[in-house]
Amino acid sequence: MKYYFKLFAVCIFLAAPLQADQGAIVVREALVYSASSSASQQVGKIAAGTRVSVFGRKGGWKEVFYEQESIVGWVRSYQIREGSFAPAVEVETESDSRGFLAGLAAFSRKASGFFRSSNSTTSSSTATIGVRGLSEAEINAARPDYDEFKKMRQYASNNVRLVEFSQSGQLRVNNVKHLTANKKQGKSIGANGVNKK
């Protein structure tokens, strides 16, 4: 009964004019579960590249609807991407023009961007976080810029600023233990100290 209710809700949802803005794409093959847990029943599988609708999120899971096969269920959140799809990295050659509207143009990698670089000659586009650095040419050309470093230090925050910042952002401090990976046994030890897997 609950399942049919969801299907009904999906039909209404798809009929809504905002449909195009609510979509998501499966970026890697996803197993679909009946609940937000891999221990729940597997109800299907969705191939990478498939467009789905997203109902909501619970922890690291998102509830989706795959219209073509009428699959409703939960997939891991990292298996789908909402918003702009598969942006291609492009070398920016525009002149210095930082602009919000320009940042929203098409589905380029700047689709969600706000700021425009003033360095039109930069062409590095390595897709990493803390994985790889600037391009080799940039690094070879680099000479320490201590004036810029002094400027950077001037922007540093402090405890007085943090009070206003955390309050206006409604940020609440939580007590969370670190997760540590147990490489030898392929297990991770959770915040509660219990072995997983």
Residues 108-147 within binding reach of other proteins (CB under 8 A): 109-110, 112-115, 117-119, 122-136, 138-139, 141-146
Residues 51-80 within binding reach of other proteins (CB under 8 A): 57-60, 76-78, 80
CB 15 within 8 A of CB 73: no
> In the complex with other proteins, which residue's Cβ is closer, 1 or 128?
128
The count of residues interacting with other proteins (CB under 8 A) is: 90
CB 52 within 8 A of CB 77: no
CB 21 within 8 A of CB 13: no
Q: Is 47 in the site for other proteins (CB under 8 A)?
A: no
The one segment of 1-9, 10-18, 66-74, 167-175 that binds other proteins by CB under 8 A: 167-175
- Shortest Å, Cβ 11 to other proteins: 28
> In the complex with other proteins, which residue's Cβ is closer, 68 or 158?
158
Q: What is the DSSP string of 132-189?
A: S-S-HHHHHH----HHHHHHHHHT---HHHHHHHHHHTT------PPPEEETTTTEEE
The residues, ordered by sequence, that sit 6+ positions from 51 with a Cβ below 8 Å of its Cβ are: 23, 24, 25, 26
Among 165, 167, 184, 195, binds other proteins (CB under 8 A): 165
Q: Is 72 exposed, middle or buried (0-12, 13-18, 19+ CB in 10 A)?
A: buried
> In the complex with other proteins, which residue's Cβ is closer, 53 or 135?
135
Residues 6-45 within binding reach of other proteins (CB under 8 A): 27-28, 36-38
- Shortest Å, Cβ 75 to other proteins: 11
